[in-house]
Amino acid sequence: MELIKQLVKEEEGQGITEYALILGLVVLGIWAAVSASGMGASITNLFGRIKTVVGACVNGTCGG
């Protein structure tokens, strides 16, 4: 019985759970905003251009 009282009373580990929930909500909000605004395609295109430039530099045809 004493063990059950201690487990109910113990609050260690609660903080990290709360932070994880908050982080999840923030990520969900950012994802919804990006999806609704149409920025997803722009971000995909940006990373595609970065991939092309980095690939060209790796192959020795960097324009710098």
* Model pTM score: 0.51
Alpha carbon distance, N-terminus to C-terminus of the chain:
72
Q: How far apart are CA 28 and CA 34, in angstroms?
A: 10
Q: How far apart are CA 6 and CA 42, in angstroms?
A: 53
Greater confidence (54 vs 14) lies with: 54
Above pLDDT 90, what percent of the chain?
39
Residue 10 is predicted with a pLDDT of 65
